[in-house]
Structure 1
Amino acid sequence: MDSEAHGKRKSDLVLPTAKQDLIQHAVTIGAGKHYLCGYCAAFTNIAITFPIQKVLFRQQLYGLRIRDAIRQLEKDGIRNLYRGILPPLLQKTTTLALMFGLYEDFSSLLLRHTTSPELVTRSVAAILAGTTEALLTPFERVQTLLQDYKHHDRFTNTFQAFKVLRPYGIREYYRGLVPILVRNGPSNALFFGLRTPIKQCLPEAKTYSAHVINDFICGGLLGAMLGILFFPINVVKARMQSQIGGEFTSSGKVFMTIWTERDGKLTHLFRGALLNYNRSILSWGIINATYELLLKLF
C-alpha cells in the first residue's frame, strides 16, 4: 500500500509538470506565430509589388506623372528594376513581423495589467508597436537612396549605401524619422481598430476561399484608405530621405518647400496617390490575406 501510494504521489507530481511544459511550449509557439506570419506576409507582398512601388516613389519624389515615372524606369533598364529591393525585404519583413507580433504582445500585456476599455488598450498597443517599428528607419532611408536615379552612380548596392552614410553619424541613418513616427502609430491604430468591423460588414464567408477573399478585401480597403490619408507625410519623408548630409530641415519646412515647388496645388502634391491607392489595395490585400491564412495553418 505504501509503495503504491508513493508511486501515485510521484506520478501526481510528474504529470502536472509535464502538462505545464506542454502548455508553456504551446504558449511560446502561439506567441511566436504572429511574428512569423507577419514576416512571410511581408515577403510575399514585396516580391510581387516592388516594381509598382518604384514607380510610386518616383512620383512622390519628383512630382512626375505616372507615364513619365514609368519611362524613367524603362531608361534605367530591367537590370535596375529590382535595384533597392534588399532594404525593403529586410525592413518590411521585420517591420510587419514586429507590427503584428508586438501588437499581440502589447495587447495581451496591457489587457492583463490595466482596466482601460479594450478599444483604448488595443489602440495604445498598436501605437507602441508602430513606434517600435521606427527603429528600422535606416532600412527605409537606404531604400530611398537606392530608388532615386540621382544616386545610381554613387551606390551599387545596399551595403555600400550604409557604408557611405557612416561618416555622417548615426543621425544620418535616421533622417526622416519624425514623419515615420507620425505615420506609424496612428496608421497601426486605425488598421487594427477597423480591421474586424470592416470584415464583419462583408458577406459571411462560408468556405475557406471565401475567408481568404474577405481578408484580401478587408486589408485592401484599409490599406488604400490609410495610403491616401498619410500620402502627404510619405511625400515629405521621401524628400527628406533623398538628401545626404547638410542641414536637418524640419518636416514643416520641407512640406512648405514641396508645396511651393508644386505651385501650391493639392493635385500636384498628391501626384502618385492614384497609383498608391491601387498598389495599397493589392499590397495590403496580399498582406492581410496571407497573414490570416498562415495564422490558420500554424
Structure 2
Amino acid sequence: MGSFKKNLLTGGVAGYVGTCVIYPIDLLKTNVQASKESSVVQVARSLVRHEGIRGLYKGLGSNLAFVVLEKALKLSANDYFRGVLGERHFKTKYWKTGGRDLPAHLSALAGGLTGTVQVVATNPMEIVKIRLQMMQGKGIANPIIMNTAAATTVSSPFILTGGIGAVQVIKSLGIRGLYRGSHITLMRDVPYGLMFFTLYADIKHRLRNKETNVTSFPNILSAGMIAGMVAAALTTPIDCLKTRYQSVEGAKFKNFQQVFTTTVKERGYSGLFRGWKPRAVIIGSLFAIMLLTYEAQKRFITGTEEES
C-alpha cells in the first residue's frame, strides 16, 4: 500500500486537472437541474448571452480549493481502504504482487467507505459551488440572499463570484449551513463509490495486458469513463434532489421527503433524471482524466503500476 500522504498529493493534482477540463459542463448541469430551463442548450445560450464565455467558468476558482481536497481524499481513501482490506484478505501486505485483485465484494466495500468519508469535504464544496453557479445574472444586495428562500436581489450586470463570492456564501451559511443536505449527499456518494470503484477495478483488470500485467493509459481512460458514466447515470435522481435542496430555492424544503414529493409533482418521475446526460458525461470525463493523471503520477513516483 502506497504512502497515504503521497496518494493525497497525487489525488489533489488529478482532481485539479480533471475539474479545469470539465467545469463548464458541470455548471450547465447544475443550472438544468435547479432552474426552470429544461435543456442544456437553453441554459448555455442564456448563460453566454448574459455573461459571455467567461460565465461558463463562474465559480471555478473558489471551487478548485474544495475540489483538490475532495478528490485527493476520494482517491487516497479508496487506495487506503483497498490496501487495508487487501492485507486482511490475503494475509500479507504484498497482496498486490502477482496480479492478485481484490474480490468484488471487498472492492465494493472500499468504494462505499470512500463515499462515506469524502462527504466531509464534498458537502461544503458542492453547496458553495451550487450557490455560486446559480447566481446567474444577479447582483447581491445582501449576503443573506444565499441562505433564504425569500431573499431578493438587485438587478446588476455585476455578479459576485470567485473568492469573494465563496467567502460571502460561507459566511452566510455558517458551518452548520455548509453541511445542509449532507444526508442526501451520503445517499448519493456511498452508492456511487460502491458502483464506480468496483466497476473501475473490474474493467481495468479486464483491459490489462496479460503478459506485462499492466493496464495501458488509454485503457485506464476508458475504464474510468465507462465506470464513471454508469455510476453517474444511476445516481442522477439523488443528485438532482440534492442540487435542489442545497440551492437558494432549497431553503423552502424542510426535509428530503418534501423536496422529493415537490419535484415529482412539478416535473414527474422523469424529472428526477433531468440532467442525467450531461452528468454522465461530466462525471465520466472527470474520473477518466483524474484516474489517468493519478495513475501516471503514481507510476512516475514508484516506477511501477499501482491499482486504484
TM-score, normalised to structure 2's length?
0.76
CA contact (8 A) 1:223 1:284 kept: yes
1:146 paired residue among 132, 139, 162? 132
Q: Deviation string for 1:17-71 (max 9, x for gaps)?
A: xxxxxxxxxx8x7332221221111111111111111111111112521221111
2:195 counterpart of 1:220? no
- Give the Cα–Cα distance (whole angstroms) in 1 for the partners of residues 279 and 211 of structure 2: 32
| Cross-structure match for 1:71 | 45
Distance 1:198 1:72, change over 3 A: same
> Number of matched residues?
269
1:134 paired residue among 103, 119, 124? 119
- Give the Cα–Cα distance (whole angstroms) in 1 for the partners of residues 228 and 183 of structure 2: 21
SS in 2 for 1:81: helix
| Cross-structure match for 1:49 | 22
> RMSD between aligned alpha carbons?
3.0
Distance 1:200 1:102, change over 3 A: closer
Distance 1:107 1:140, change over 3 A: same
Return the letter of the residue paired with 2:43: A
2:28 counterpart of 1:32? no
- Give the Cα–Cα distance (whole angstroms) in 2 for the partners of residues 217 and 124 of structure 1: 23
Mapping for residues 194-233 of structure 1, pairs under 5 Å: 194-202=199-207, 204=209, 211-233=216-238
Q: Deviation string for 1:207-245 (max 9, x for gaps)?
A: 9x9711100000000110011011111111111111279
Distance 1:245 1:282, change over 3 A: closer
**% of aligned pairs identical?**
28
Which stretches in structure 1 are left out of the alignment for 5+ residues? 1-26
CA contact (8 A) 1:146 1:152 kept: no
- Give the Cα–Cα distance (whole angstroms) in 1 for the partners of residues 54 and 25 of structure 2: 16
Deviation, 1:204, is 3.5
Which stretches in structure 2 are left out of the alignment for 5+ residues? 92-101, 141-159, 302-308
Return the letter of the residue paired with 2:128: V
CA contact (8 A) 2:12 2:68 kept: yes
| Cross-structure match for 1:272 | 275
| Cross-structure match for 1:20 | none
SS in 2 for 1:99: helix
Q: Deviation string for 1:61-92 (max 9, x for gaps)?
A: 12521221111221222333311113431222
**Please, which moves more after superposition, 45-54 or 269-278?**
269-278
- Give the Cα–Cα distance (whole angstroms) in 2 for the partners of residues 167 and 53 of structure 1: 24
Distance 1:278 1:111, change over 3 A: closer
CA contact (8 A) 1:231 1:273 kept: yes
2:184 counterpart of 1:179? yes
Q: Deviation string for 1:229-263 (max 9, x for gaps)?
A: 1111111111111127955621121021111111x
TM-score, normalised to structure 1's length?
0.79
Greater helix percent: which structure? 1
- Give the Cα–Cα distance (whole angstroms) in 1 for the partners of residues 210 and 48 of structure 2: 42
Distance 1:31 1:297, change over 3 A: same
| Cross-structure match for 2:284 | 281
Please tell me whether Structure 1 or Structure 2 has the larger radius of gyration of its CA atoms.
Answer: 1
